[in-house]
Amino acid sequence: MLRSALRGPLRGRVRGAATCRAAYSAAAAAPAAPPATDDQIASLVSAFQESRRLVVLTGAGCSTESGVPDYRSPQGAYSTGFKPMTHQQFLASPANRARYWARSFYGWPRFSRTQPNEAHFALAELEQRCWVSGLVTQNVDRLHSRAGSREVLELHGTSHEVICLDCGARSPRQAVQEALAALNPAAAAHVAELAARPPDAAAERLQALRVGTSRDDLRVATRTPPSTPGGFGAARSLGQAAGQPPQRPDGDVELVDAGSGFRVAPCGGCGGLLKPDVVFFGDNIPQERKDRAMALAASSDTLLVVGSSVMVYSAYRLVEVAKAAGARLLIVNVGPTRADKLADVKVEARAGEVLTRLARHPELQLPKLR
């Protein structure tokens, strides 16, 4: 009864929009793994019960079951040689920024509609029952908040907000999407045409399993008239992808000649450069955010890592800080991690399966006594 009362309000708001396309993409994006054993679940439950302050660190593997690919698994973006744009490349030239925003423009509609999965909901429930004291995520998809988690620190920022690099003003990503659509009507029409196509489950699954190869690239529609080579009509006639091109971990997609003829929206206040409020590769995490994450890790007596290889130092440093403070380290991740040698418990299984079993476990159903 208690479980139903807690889960219902969190899930009802976001489940209605799920589609077969999302289900197929999620199945392909999530790495294959056998279920956790009963003994492994029991070890995690015991660690939860013994902890006074448990902090969670999540990575891309927490969102793969929502259809968002990770970077380092066999199905991940790096498996096809994908290299995300660095902070330095973004700043280097208008052409690079046009390329980035063109890819983001095509990827945003699907990325913004991505739904939380069982892992996100389970963590929100465990937080409600006071078994989780804080959550640090490396993900930029904001799915933890959408699932109902309240104490969320977005270590690398979020794709749902945009910042002006000149005046510092922030704006919703959707508002920038609308500005880009007004500046690039042919591309906007092309995106709308792609979205209107009926889902092809088999094609979507095959495309997701390939993660993204050269034959999946989609030619971008520029602002030129439909009758002009390279315009919307030409882009539509190419038919290089049966539907939307493969999504990348941060929400962009692969496009042929991305940025060619694509107009980038300036800051509405000062006319400056707009950039997603995301820490790109080669950029630095804001000091205040870094300090908050370090304080959370240092204050924990148990750190649960979910769906992260902790290969980037910003994440691994939190593991080091927690262990130095005497915390127990629990890892739920498919594949090796940088912190495996430090782990007290390591479970190689899907995040959704493991966390759901924890949230449903009789010992964790009632709120924790403080």
What are the binding residues?
138-141, 164, 167, 267, 270, 307-309, 333-335, 351
Annotated binding-site members for Zn(2+): 164, 167, 267, 270
Place of tokens 């969320």: 152
Residue type present at position 73: S
Backbone angles phi, psi at 86, to 5 degrees: -85, 165
**233 DSSP assignment:** H
Interacting residues of 28 by C-beta distance below 8 A, sequence separation 6+: 75, 205, 208, 209
240: left (phi over 0), alpha (psi -120 to 50) or beta: alpha
Whether 216 and 241 have beta carbons less than 8 Å apart is answered as: yes
Whether 69 and 210 have beta carbons less than 8 Å apart is answered as: no
160 a catalytic residue: no
Separation CA 64–CA 232 (nearest Å): 32
In 204-309 the beta strands, taken as DSSP E runs, fall at 218-219, 255-256, 274-278, 302-306
Whether 355 and 370 have beta carbons less than 8 Å apart is answered as: no
Separation CA 286–CA 275 (nearest Å): 15
Give the count of beta carbons closer than 10 Å to the beta carbon of residue 230.
17
Of 120, 144, 156, 160, the catalytic one is: 156
Annotated binding-site members for NAD(+): 138-141, 307-309, 333-335, 351
Give the residue among 255, 266, 248 at the shortest CA–CA distance from 220: 255
Residue 281, strand partner residues? 86
For the annotated catalytic residues, the residue numbers are 156
